[in-house]
Structure 1
Amino acid sequence: MRILIIAPSWIGDAIMSQTMHRLLVQQDPKIKIDIIASTWNQALFYRMPEIHKVLTLTHAKHGSFPIKKYYQYGKLLQKSQKYQQSIILPNSFKSALIPFFAGIPKRTGWRGEMRYGIINDMRILHPKNFPLMIERYAALAFKKENINNTLDLPHPLPLPYLHYNPQELHAISNKFNITDNTTKIRIGICPGAESNQAKRWPIHHYARLILKLINQGYQTILLGSYKEIKIGRSIKNSIPKNLQTYCHNLIGLTSLDEAILLIKKCHAIISNDSGLMHIACALHKPVVALYGPSDPNCTPPLYHHTKIIKIKTHNTYKQQTQHSYYNLDKYDPNLINIQPHTVLETLHKLL
């Protein structure tokens, strides 16, 4: 059987969707899974052995609707490939158009944006029946009549795992001057959150945490996308110059694939609820995950060696510091009130 997956755009969702890929292969070891992915997250799927072929489509900007482009791509697939099924993971209407135009007989997905007719194997999501995002993806790997809620899914579910080889790790160390012959523990810091400001722990908290880590003998590496360059600079500039050598700021300087390998080089990761957090879990790295407005009951870190910090608050810290030079209005109060010493203590429990 040959199947076409329309991948999620967000990195975290793309990682979590690997659970579904693994379930498909478990049911049919000879299955060939091709996937249409965004240019910015396609590197993930090359590290998933379940994927046969990665197809790329340059997605239009949010809000645009290049239906002609989808039609042409669908017809190209119809001529060149013979898919028996497509599974559409995003909920948008336009994400289901390529499989429809490609004439794929069975088009599976959650209802999303009222996609009647475009999706002909439609599932109606009742969130209480599938509270975890990976359960919602997993359910699509099975026939509709066999899966009504999470109790009908295999337990435990196969979790995401990204593959790599040792030579890649050696090469990435050389490229970014990562010293391996040291007794210092290397901590990866991921202060971004895929353009969602509310999910970010405050910059000055990260700076205070890194200073504590350096003073305790740790090395730190800042990782993130080019959109977060200012965050990395602000954090590093907040650290005394004589100690900045122990804070390796690589934000905006790596590809996604290089970031994957650099995360693997770390002994542990401290991260907001972000795509890099999910990558770290898929590489089996200890993770301290900082949650604000997002729900760890839906998208938790999918690795047993993790600690979640989530504090419900009434703006206490924000009120006490409203006259300081820190601009706290853009941060979620729940994240503001997570203190650096709490994160450090939590990290110590993982190491």
Structure 2
Amino acid sequence: MNILIIGPSWVGDMVMSHSLYQTLKQGYPDANIDVLAPEWCKPLLARMPEVRQGLSMPIGHGSLALSERYGIGKSLRHRYDMAIVLPNSLKSALIPLFARIPLRRGWKGESRYLLLNDLRTNKRDYPMMVQRYTALGYERGHIPDAQNLPIPKPYLNTQAAQIAQTKQLFAAQLAAAEQRPAIGFCPGAEFGPAKRWPHYHYAELARRLIDIGYSIRLFGSAKDQACGEQIRQALSDAQQPYCLNLAGQTTLNQAVDLIADCHAVVSNDSGLMHIAAALDRPLVALYGPTSPQYTPPLSDKAEIIRLIEGDLIKIRTSSDSKEGYHQSLIDINPEKVLDKLSILLTEA
């Protein structure tokens, strides 16, 4: 059986989708699984052995581009027996229809009744995103309920030689701290500062870790570079050589290798948090307005800190501080994070 997955467009969602690919391989051991997703996803997909290949999705997130979707669908005809559509939008279901894939499976969303012929309507029975992804790996009538649904943990393959090669590319930056075990910080957040632990808390945690012999690696995209500099510049001149701002300097593939090389990671709720979990790194995950009930890190080595209860609060910038940080994250003090991190490091 050949299966086409219409993949998600966000890092964390792509990592969580690996639970589906593992489930499909358990149910269809001889299946070939291809994933149609943005070009940047390919390094992640290449680290998932259940995926045969990643196919580049050239249409940007949110764009209809009907004629382009038709052209992509036409090029995929006669190649697949089943398609599984992970995004909930109507437009995401068009390519499998245009490709004339016989079985087209997905959750109800945006009036997709005519586009999907294996439409699942009980999404609310599966409160976690990874449950919703995984449930799509089962045939209708054979889906375990949420309490009994096996969730294979996402993982990303790494190789020691590749990690060493990546470290060599950053040898100049890593040189001063090479003899110290590294702790990764992921201080960015895609949807604004309300999801971020304050930079001054990260800086205080960095001070304490550096003073006891660790180095710090700051990860993120180019737009997180300024946040990383805020953290680094808050340190003393003597401490700064042991805090490396790699935000915006690495490819996603290189970031995966350098996170895999860290002894532990501290992260906001973000895509890099899910990468750290999939790399089986000891992880302290910091939540505020977002809820770990929906998208927790899928790892036995993760400690979640959230001081408020309830579901997702849809907010990008908070009025609780001039920087836009949410009070629930401001209230997580560095001592609490260090305590959790110390336990994880001791166990590791």
Structure 1 and Structure 2 fold alike (TM over 0.5): yes
316, 321, 327: which is aligned to 1:333? 327
Q: Relative to 1, partners in 2 of residues 1:152 and 1:145: Cα closer, same or farther, differing over 3 Å?
A: farther
State the one-letter code of the partner of 1:101: F
Report the Cα distance in structure 2 between the residues aligned to 1:163 and 1:47, rounded to whole angstroms.
5
Q: Secondary structure at the match of 1:3?
A: strand
Report the Cα distance in structure 2 between the residues aligned to 1:183 and 1:246, rounded to whole angstroms.
10
Is 1:260 matched up with 2:259? no
Q: Relative to 1, partners in 2 of residues 1:36 and 1:180: Cα closer, same or farther, differing over 3 Å?
A: farther
Report the Cα distance in structure 1 between the residues aligned to 2:274 and 2:175, rounded to whole angstroms.
25
Which residue is equivalent to 1:105? 102
Give the stretch that moved more between structures: 145-154 or 177-186. 177-186
State the Cα distance separating 1:212 from its structure 2 match.
1.7
Structure-to-structure mapping, 1:221-300, within 5 angstroms: 221-300=217-296
- Structure 1 residue runs of 5 or longer lacking an equivalent are 314-321
Is 1:90 matched up with 2:87? yes
Q: Deviations over 1:123-161 (max 9, x none)?
A: 01342x21222111111001121226214533xx21101
Contact 2:35 2:53 in 1 (8 A): yes
Contact 2:5 2:84 in 1 (8 A): yes
Which residue is equivalent to 1:170? 164
State the one-letter code of the partner of 1:235: I
Q: Deviations over 1:208-264 (max 9, x none)?
A: 211121122210000001121211122212222221100011000000011000000
113, 120, 124: which is aligned to 1:123? 120
State the Cα distance separating 1:331 from its structure 2 match.
1.4
State the one-letter code of the partner of 2:159: N
State the Cα distance separating 1:58 from its structure 2 match.
2.1
Which residue is equivalent to 1:318? none
% same residue: 44
State the Cα distance separating 1:71 from its structure 2 match.
0.7
Contact 1:146 1:152 in 2 (8 A): no
TM-score (norm 2): 0.91
TM-score (norm 1): 0.91
Report the Cα distance in structure 2 between the residues aligned to 1:196 and 1:68, rounded to whole angstroms.
33
Which residue is equivalent to 2:72? 73
- Structure 2 residue runs of 5 or longer lacking an equivalent are 310-318
Query: How many residues are paired up?
Result: 334
Report the Cα distance in structure 2 between the residues aligned to 1:76 and 1:173, rounded to whole angstroms.
40
RMSD over aligned Cα, in angstroms?
1.9
Q: Relative to 1, partners in 2 of residues 1:5 and 1:126: Cα closer, same or farther, differing over 3 Å?
A: closer
Report the Cα distance in structure 2 between the residues aligned to 1:338 and 1:302, rounded to whole angstroms.
22
Is 1:12 matched up with 2:12? yes
Contact 2:19 2:130 in 1 (8 A): yes
Q: Relative to 1, partners in 2 of residues 1:260 and 1:201: Cα closer, same or farther, differing over 3 Å?
A: same
Q: Relative to 1, partners in 2 of residues 1:180 and 1:98: Cα closer, same or farther, differing over 3 Å?
A: farther
Which residue is equivalent to 1:319? none
Q: Secondary structure at the match of 1:146?
A: coil
Which residue is equivalent to 2:216? 220
Which residue is equivalent to 2:189? 193
Contact 1:173 1:179 in 2 (8 A): no
130, 133, 154: which is aligned to 1:134? 130
